[in-house]
Amino acid sequence: MVRQLFFPKEGGGPLRRFLGIRQSLYRDALIDDRPIRGPVQLFDFRRTDDAADLRNSIGAKKRGLFAGWRVSDDSVIGGYSTSRMEFIGDKASIESNSAQNPASEQLPFLRWSGTINTEINRQSPKARHITRSGFAAILSPEYPFGCPLGNRYRALEICCRTDGRTYAVNLHVETFFPEDMYQGFIGREGMAPSQSDRSDGSEIIKGGDDSGEEPSIDEPNQSLDVREYIKHRYKRLYKLDPSTDPVSGFPPSGFQRLILPFKGFTLTSRGRARHEQRDLDGAVSIESIGFTLMDGKDGDFTFDLVSVRAVNVLEGEIVGTLEDEARESEIEQQFRREAGKETKIDENDDLVVKQAA
């Protein structure tokens, strides 16, 4: 019974989560001597343990010492909104999703969906002092004793697909004030809102579009689809062999990878921004991650989540893992070794191949 509590036979569980993140962080500290490290995975439903945690959370009647994935909505205050979560991971559900979204890659993900209703239920005793209603939220499993990222990472990368509504990203971190929570926002079909749409004044990095112009990290208060943001780096390799996308490269087809710098998150308490702000750019230890929809609009919503990572960004690019860099170098050398050919890099960062005389 105790073993099943900490090491579920289906996989996942709080102890595996505790050991997994520390193993990743300590391994990187030992083998990665770069001053800026590559990404660390927080949640990824392509991994067996994360998928098992989600499966075990769906329909669970009891919560253990460390709760799994869970949803909530304004029904707790007598409201009419509803929300649910499901795992699109088995063969039948993936094929069904692919039929509805032909451009999407066949991969497992979390689907959080429901309906927002802003009407206040005046008949409910729970709504006696309520002045507004209409929200839904989802919260990740907790990391036992926190996820000690420290000051080694500068941003959160979210691989997701949204419906264009504005979602809040909630970071619960270790703090002396249990009600404190750091909050950022994403919207516009998965894009982080621009400065004009934000109330917290945070800085969001943004990339270019399909016009061919390269993105710039120097333009402040912008948002980013990482597919465009790092495209110029792997462009020449992708043209030669589309199957060689690095792990930290392009997001899965039909999804987006978005970057939210930690320094752009706003400190809140009980849903309101604190007058005295503390930047989230020091010793970060994440306890859990959540998403909230409370945009004041009635209607259905759908939010699909593939993964969440802590990352670093340098000169407009996500810093990859050592494996990413080794793979990129190996692929490039492979093409350079092709007999009778010589290569060079042109001013547009493309790989030009010429036949040797």
Dump pLDDT digits (tens) for 252-267.
778 888 999 998 899 8
| Partners of 150 in beta bridges | 284
The mean pLDDT value of the chain amounts to: 75
- Residues 316, 313, 276, 140, CA torsion sign: positive
pLDDT average, residue stretch 268-295: 85
Query: What is the per-residue pLDDT across 18-54, written as a single tens digit (0 to 9) for each?
Result: 888 888 888 888 888 888 888 899 999 999 999 999 9
Other C-beta atoms within 10 Å of 255: how many?
A: 25
Asked whether residue 112 is assigned to any structural domain, the reply reads: yes
| Range(s) of the domain holding residue 195 | 2-320
Q: What is the pLDDT of residue 60?
A: 74
User: Does position 305 have pLDDT exceeding 90, yes or no?
Assistant: yes
Q: What is the pTM of this model?
A: 0.74
Q: How far apart are the C-alpha atoms of 221 and 193, rounded to whole Å?
A: 9
Per the domain annotation, does 344 fall within a domain?
Answer: no
Q: How many domains does the chain have?
A: 1
Alpha-carbon distance of 75 to 136, in angstroms, equals 9
Q: Are 289 and 171 in contact (CB under 8 A)?
A: yes
Q: Is residue 330 part of a domain?
A: no
288 DSSP β-pair partners? 172
Q: What is the pLDDT of residue 317?
A: 77
Q: Taking residues 315-342, what's their average pLDDT?
A: 68
* Rounded CA separation 100/113 (Å): 15
353 found inside a domain: no
Whether the pLDDT of residue 315 is over 50: the answer is: yes
Tell me the pLDDT tens digit for each residue of 149-204: 988 898 999 999 999 999 999 999 988 887 889 999 997 544 454 333 433 333 33
Residue 222's pLDDT is 37
Q: Are the CB atoms for 38 and 324 separated by under 8 Å?
A: yes
21's tokens = 């993140």
Percent of the chain with pLDDT over 90: 28
Question: Could you tell me the CA-to-CA distances from 335 to 3, 25, 239, 347, 351 in Å, in that order?
Answer: 51, 34, 12, 19, 10
Q: Is the dihedral of CA 218, 324, 291, 152 positive or negative?
A: negative
What is residue 301's predicted lDDT score, i.e. its pLDDT? 97
The percent helix, strand, coil of the chain (3-state, each to 5) is: 25, 30, 45
Q: Does residue 28 sit in helix, strand or coil?
A: helix
Mean pLDDT of 47-67: 81
Query: Structure tokens of 151?
Result: 């000051």
Q: How many CA atoms lie within 13 A of 247 on its CB side?
A: 18
Give the pLDDT band of residue 135 (cuts 50, 70, 90): very high
Supply the DSSP symbol for 191: B
Contact 134, 239 (CB under 8 A): no
Task: Give the model's confidence band at 250: pLDDT under 50 very low, under 70 low, under 90 confident, else very high.
Answer: low
Q: Alpha-carbon distance 133 to 245, whole Å? A: 44
| Residue 88: strand pairing partners | 109
Rounded Cα distance, 155 and 36, in Å? 12
Is 36 part of any domain?
Answer: yes
Name the pLDDT band for 225 (thresholds 50, 70, 90). very low
Is the CA virtual torsion 211, 216, 221, 223 positive or negative?
positive
- The predicted structure's pLDDT at residue 98: 59
Distance CA 206, CA 60 (A): 39
Distance of CA 167 to the CA centre of its chain: 12
Q: Is residue 325 part of a domain?
A: no
Cα end-to-end distance, the chain, whole Å? 73
Asked whether residue 132 carries a pLDDT value surpassing 90, the answer given is no
Residue 349, pLDDT > 70, answer no
CATH number for the domain including 175? 2.60.120.430
Q: What is the largest CA-CA distance in the chain?
A: 86
- 338, part of any domain: no
More confident residue, 117 or 337: 117
H/E stretch holding 315: none
Is 245 part of a structural domain of the chain?
yes
Look at residue 62 in the predicted model and tell me its pLDDT: 65
